[in-house]
Structure 1
């Protein structure tokens, strides 16, 4: 058999590869054979609601069932407690069977509502035809669409392609983000939606707005509840407490103020008219520094935004926790671990970082070869190991590396759907690998931010300022947001906790548990490196520049 050489388009996040020019990835099978003896077309729709369509579940579904009152008639049957659902949802994987797509979400679930009137779409990569295809066809030409991108060079081919695709559609407006720092990107992945029923919604996710990311790559979504229109605008408190709706709104408005006036002026004016009271989450964002002169921010961004809120979250006293950094790109961090040990790790564990077990979940070449799209999945996943400095970085990261597919205990059903999702999760170490339940979660962050100085910021300079290069957006949750005494537990293959679970907030897991460290000979996937060993579809990999 002649081996085919793969040299595919890139969905690069921060590491400087080519941009995505493809519109889809190959349809594959659900069992890992190479080459496949027979191809069959898998069902496109997961098993979910009675219409065969996966539903996005906003936070209003997470509310507890109302308690019984003393005025209820004695003959009234007792109400079963409403099951709480995960605040994070996984995106549907096209080539996995329905049983592995339970409770998952698609792009049409997010923006396909015929009541949608306005869509603000923030992202790194965009496909206008793909975006339009997800809208309800009856209102497609009527929805006001604003696309915010970071292609600031006027001759950037990606900017020119966006302009060409937008030109036939008078309802689409393009906006260019402010990017003052070299190597910075507009990496945020967010939707702000307005509907004709006088509600608004914020959606934070991890997928580029291209078919590749919504097909066979693992991504995740957080949806706010539908935010109701206020009878009159409310004044925000000056220093809202972390985790409160006011803190969420303040951070969002401050983040939006870093954009050109064509974005922040109309959008912030609209958002001030809605109530954020139903939200149970805290925003963690990054914006490039220096910020524009018109946008002095009252809240911190980048890694300095972490300690003020993480210090308020209860953790297990006296128990060394595990914090897992699960990312799709690792940038150049330096030949020593100074930035990790002195900057990022203390920000993620401000009270006990020296005692935390640190894990970095990143796929191996073997896992990329076995993924549904084979080597094509590797176009979205980046690190480098070829230079001497990169080799030193690999040396201090190696002891922390864990495989994407986990250790074979609790299966998340995403082992063959390569990761584009990014999560930072603190686990109670006493729960690691024990019992039949899921791991105990102390807090969880879903974000666009990879493991990089561009995303999180460098160390403070002599003036005490932190240099950040990129726009990022994430959402942080912890059990206390749902009430005193609640615990958060990882769940697998579904968004609900098994059994009654009245005191448990479930968190949908994207990777298997317990974590499985790299074995001898394991290496991280490197997209710039050539691989002669073929993937399950019989393709070798040239690597960029190969």
Structure 2
């Protein structure tokens, strides 16, 4: 097992609105369960059966009633949220109709036509549409108002006017099904991608007339379907791509901090011939991901019912043919469960897909520069110097010729840890947060891992939000290019056992990569945001040889990589305070549910 997950059953149980709910907010971990037949499966089955058995709940027309066992904490949160929304409406002096128009409703067809392309890779629009992509934190009722001054995303505002929707695909590891269904009208068909509820996965069944649940194949039910994604198709033809770090749970969009990347994609007047479609751009990778998640079968099932003749898409390859992806500068990075062998397959997924994305966008680490990584997440993995160094090589964008060390186990075991900062909340930070320990159920670190002799405790830094005393469920990796005297003119660490005598990296081709000769844009670094925690389960583990590498991945994951052009953007784009505070060992310890949760 790559990671800890004794708390996995707790995580799923907390996402279900039932009579067993406890005071502690426990939402999700992406780690592999200790017991493959853990409570996870039973709880998910129970939730889905309950939603099918109760027509009112399945339709999403009414919210589930509070049970006597529901905690006073959650009742208070519910009351405070209602009061906050009421105050907000009074202050704005607006009703829901004006709010929808202000946030970019789709009533005006002209609003769905993108303006001329801007030079910025992440710019907002006054119309509430994001033709060049936008990264924002989620709204949060606990942030410090003096610190939370920038724009935010709310799920209702991301969806927009529900009457303008034509079709949706949504994916999440943990779901509040009744709450989620209430976001969409009955006249809109919705595909919900979920963790498998049956052994081996490949689930496909209707939750209601317009809701179809699917899951990918997952042999032996090891790992997690951890992808968070929304594809929103509007009647005007516009497609909105949404990649959040939040699950589709109300508390993920209200009580803990997450981030969301959104980009609107215009529809073409006529389709692009299939033969002329790029084979590895954002749309192609997204289409492949949806196929693996079983969404293609869901489209066929909806069509067979005969009830949805106006669906805007009938086959997944139409995504590539009918929509204009030319303004998307982000790179999409997926992870798929399984064993991936040979460079053409390995560079499609996991941390080696990150490697290829960085090279494709010109964000591989420049010669003579040092790369420092800051990795923020909500789950800690089983780290070793072998794994952290292989991830670091991918994060530098090293060409495949540099991976001579893959099959050399003795060499890899002797490597020092690379310059990677692991950001995770200390016990002190959790105790000082607004919700305290009862709000720490979204963070996972196993005490046995932390105490292991070779665990990289010296690489840990405290995770503190820029917006106040809120805990972060956000998954981000910041790559920073820095000048460093320990790096020579070719960007090699002095004494680095990975060092080779290869010629200039720009002349070396990654297997599966299209050779390109173009002027390199000067970058300050790059940012990954998505569902991947910084764990071997999420990003995969390399073995095999340089000629025939093998990447084993435990989870399904998805995220985007964004270039960072200016040094000041390094602080602006991330969720945490920089510089992060290094753990003061041994006084500082990470938040560990098994040790620190109230009983």
TM over 0.5: yes
Count of aligned pairs between the two proteins: 445
Paired with 1:86 and 1:112, the residues of 2 have a C-alpha distance of 17
Say whether residues 1:130 and 2:196 are aligned partners.
no
Say whether residues 1:428 and 2:481 are aligned partners.
yes
Tell me which residue corresponds to 2:213.
174
Is the Cα–Cα contact under 8 Å of residues 333 and 357 in structure 2 kept in the other structure? Answer: no
Deviations 1:481-505 (A, max 9, x none): xxxxx5363377xxxxxxxxxxxxx
Q: Indicate the RMSD between aligned Cα atoms, in angstroms.
A: 4.2
Say whether residues 1:221 and 2:260 are aligned partners.
yes
User: Could you say if the C-alpha distance between residues 123 and 399 of structure 1 is closer, same or farther in structure 2, counting changes exceeding 3 Å?
Assistant: same
Tell me which residue corresponds to 1:141.
186
Is the Cα–Cα contact under 8 Å of residues 329 and 383 in structure 1 kept in the other structure? Answer: yes
Equivalence map 1:387-426=2 (5 Å): 390-392=450-452, 395-405=454-464, 412-413=466-467, 415-426=468-479
Tell me which residue corresponds to 1:189.
228
Q: Which sits farther off after the overlay, 263-272 or 145-154?
A: 263-272
Equivalence map 1:281-360=2 (5 Å): 281-290=330-339, 300-311=348-359, 312-313=362-363, 315=365, 317-333=367-383, 336-341=384-389, 343-351=390-398, 357-360=419-422
Q: Which sits farther off after the overlay, 227-236 or 250-259?
A: 227-236
Tell me which residue corresponds to 1:364.
426
Paired with 1:396 and 1:65, the residues of 2 have a C-alpha distance of 43
* SS of aligned partner of 1:147: strand
Q: Which sits farther off after the overlay, 447-456 or 257-266?
A: 257-266
Tell me which residue corresponds to 2:246.
207
Shift, 1:134, TM fit: 3.0
Query: Which of 442, 447, 457 is the equivalent residue of 1:385?
Result: 447
Shift, 1:42, TM fit: 5.0
Query: Which of 108, 118, 131 is the equivalent residue of 1:64?
Result: 118
Q: Which sits farther off after the overlay, 224-233 or 38-47?
A: 38-47
Paired with 1:328 and 1:253, the residues of 2 have a C-alpha distance of 28
Q: Which sits farther off after the overlay, 351-360 or 255-264?
A: 351-360
Tell me which residue corresponds to 1:198.
237
User: Could you say if the C-alpha distance between residues 134 and 369 of structure 1 is closer, same or farther in structure 2, counting changes exceeding 3 Å?
Assistant: farther
Query: Which of 410, 423, 437 is the equivalent residue of 1:375?
Result: 437
Paired with 1:489 and 1:234, the residues of 2 have a C-alpha distance of 42
Is the Cα–Cα contact under 8 Å of residues 448 and 472 in structure 1 kept in the other structure? Answer: yes
Say whether residues 1:262 and 2:297 are aligned partners.
yes
Tell me which residue corresponds to 1:12.
29
Paired with 2:116 and 2:243, the residues of 1 have a C-alpha distance of 17
Deviations 1:393-446 (A, max 9, x none): 6x542111111127xxxxx21x42211110011123469xxxxxxxx8411110
* SS of aligned partner of 1:121: strand
Paired with 1:130 and 1:340, the residues of 2 have a C-alpha distance of 39
Say whether residues 1:452 and 2:531 are aligned partners.
no
User: Could you say if the C-alpha distance between residues 346 and 155 of structure 1 is closer, same or farther in structure 2, counting changes exceeding 3 Å?
Assistant: closer
Paired with 1:528 and 1:91, the residues of 2 have a C-alpha distance of 28
User: Could you say if the C-alpha distance between residues 304 and 107 of structure 1 is closer, same or farther in structure 2, counting changes exceeding 3 Å?
Assistant: same
Paired with 2:229 and 2:82, the residues of 1 have a C-alpha distance of 35
* SS of aligned partner of 2:297: helix
Query: Which of 463, 476, 479 is the equivalent residue of 2:561?
Result: 476
Shift, 1:198, TM fit: 1.1
* SS of aligned partner of 2:292: coil
Tell me which residue corresponds to 2:491.
none
Is the Cα–Cα contact under 8 Å of residues 122 and 188 in structure 1 kept in the other structure? Answer: yes
* SS of aligned partner of 1:417: coil
Is the Cα–Cα contact under 8 Å of residues 289 and 468 in structure 1 kept in the other structure? Answer: yes
Tell me which residue corresponds to 2:568.
489
Tell me which residue corresponds to 2:154.
106
Is the Cα–Cα contact under 8 Å of residues 462 and 580 in structure 2 kept in the other structure? Answer: yes
Paired with 1:146 and 1:86, the residues of 2 have a C-alpha distance of 24
Higher helix share: 2
Equivalence map 1:16-35=2 (5 Å): 16=33, 26=74
Shift, 1:237, TM fit: 5.6
Say whether residues 1:509 and 2:574 are aligned partners.
yes
Shift, 1:195, TM fit: 0.6
| Long gaps (5+) in structure 1 | 30-37, 67-82, 241-245, 407-411, 432-439, 480-485, 493-506, 532-540
* SS of aligned partner of 1:208: coil
* SS of aligned partner of 1:257: helix
User: Could you say if the C-alpha distance between residues 396 and 350 of structure 1 is closer, same or farther in structure 2, counting changes exceeding 3 Å?
Assistant: farther
Equivalence map 1:78-97=2 (5 Å): 87-96=134-143
Shift, 1:321, TM fit: 3.2
Tell me which residue corresponds to 2:196.
151
Shift, 1:278, TM fit: 2.1
| Long gaps (5+) in structure 2 | 1-21, 48-69, 106-111, 121-129, 301-313, 403-414, 485-522
